[in-house]
Amino acid sequence: LDGNHLLLLGVEGIRRKPLSKKFKSVTGMIGLIFFILLGVSVILLDLARLFGW
């Protein structure tokens, strides 16, 4: 289990009813996009530092 699954299980436990598959899919996609953007920004910052931009 990753953080997304743990968070969604916690929300389901509080609500006491399951979340829709579409909602789970959308939150997973948002998390994936976040980590891709984070990786790209780190690479760009490293390149900027390397080349003195």
Place 3 in a pLDDT band, splitting at 50, 70 and 90.
confident
| Residue pLDDT, tens place only, 22-51 | 999 999 999 999 999 999 999 999 999 999
**Could you tell me which of 30, 31, 26, 23 has the C-alpha nearest to residue 11?**
23
By residue range, what is the domain housing residue 7?
Answer: 3-51
In whole angstroms, how far apart are CA 35 and each of 1, 5, 23, 45?
Answer: 17, 16, 19, 15
**Geometric angle at alpha carbon 36, from 12 and 3, rounded to 5°:** 25
pLDDT category at 53 given cuts 50, 70, 90 is confident
**Total domains in the fold of the chain:** 1
Give per-residue burial for 17-32: e unless 16+ CB within 10 Å, then b: eeeeeeeeeebeeeee
* Res 20: pLDDT: 95
